[in-house]
Amino acid sequence: MYDKFQNFLQKELQNIEEAGLYKKERIIESPQTAEIKVSTGETVLNFCANNYLGLSNNPELIEAAKEALDNRGFGMSSVRFICGTQDLHKTLERKIADYFGTEDTILYAACFDANGGVFEPLLSEEDAIISDSLNHASIIDGVRLCKAERYRYQNADMNDLEEQLKIAQKNRFRLIVTDGVFSMDGNVAPMDKIIALASKYDAMVMVDECHSAGVVGKTGRGVTELFNVRGKVEIITGTLGKAFGGAIGGFTTGKKEIIGMLRQRSRPYLFSNSIPPSIANAGIKMFEMMDKTTVLQDKLHRNTDYFMTKMKEIGFDIKPSKSAICAVMLYDAKLSQDFAAELLKEGIYVIGFYFPVVPKDQARIRVQLSAAHEIEHLDKCINAFTKVGKKLNVLK
Ligand SMILES: *Cc1c(COP(=O)(O)O)cnc(C)c1O
208 in ligand 1 pocket by Cβ < 6 Å?
Answer: yes
Number of domains in the chain: 2
348 in ligand 1 pocket by Cβ < 6 Å?
Answer: no
Average pLDDT of 150-161? 98
Is 191 inside any structural domain?
yes
Q: Are residues 304 and 272 both part of a single domain?
A: no
d(CA 336, CA 333): 5
Report the pLDDT value the prediction gives residue 21, as an integer from 0 to 100. Answer: 83
Report the pLDDT value the prediction gives residue 396, as an integer from 0 to 100. Answer: 85
Ligand 1 pocket: which of 48, 112, 187 to mutate (most atoms <8 Å of CB)? 112
Q: Which band of pLDDT confidence, cut at 50, 70 and 90, is reported for residue 47?
A: very high
217 in ligand 1 pocket by Cβ < 6 Å?
Answer: no
- CATH number reported for the structural domain that contains residue 335 in this entry: 3.90.1150.10
Ligand 1: distance of its center to the CA of 210 in Å?
6
Report the pLDDT value the prediction gives residue 290, as an integer from 0 to 100. Answer: 97
Confidence check: pLDDT of 22 > 90: no
211 in ligand 1 pocket by Cβ < 6 Å?
Answer: yes
Q: Are residues 34 and 153 both part of a single domain?
A: no
Taking the C-alpha atoms of 130, 132, 138 and 141 in order, what is their torsion angle to the nearest 10 degrees?
50
pLDDT tens readout for residues 265-297:
999 999 999 999 999 999 999 999 999 999 999
> What single string gives the DSSP state of each residue in 207-246?
EE-TTTTTTSSTTS--HHHHTT-TT--SEEEEESSSTT-S
Give the domain range for residue 316: 20-49+294-391
Q: Which residues of 278-292 are buried (b: 16+ CB within 10 A; e: fewer)?
A: bbbbbbbbbbebbee
Q: Are residues 32 and 78 both part of a single domain?
A: no
248 burial (CB, 10 Å; 0-12 / 13-18 / 19+) is middle
pLDDT tens readout for residues 212-224:
999 999 999 999 9
Report the pLDDT value the prediction gives residue 20, as an integer from 0 to 100. Answer: 80
pLDDT tens readout for residues 188-204:
999 999 999 999 999 99
What is the value of pTM for the model shown? 0.97
**Which among 270, 292, 314 is the end of a domain?**
292
Q: Are residues 107 and 155 both part of a single domain?
A: yes
CB atoms within 10 A of CB 386: 17
**Which among 268, 292, 316 is the end of a domain?**
292
Phi (first) and psi of residue 287, to 5 degrees: -65, -30
Q: Which band of pLDDT confidence, cut at 50, 70 and 90, is reported for residue 19?
A: confident
Interaxial angle between packed helices 375-391 and 333-345, expressed in degrees from 0 to 180 and rounded to the nearest 10:
130
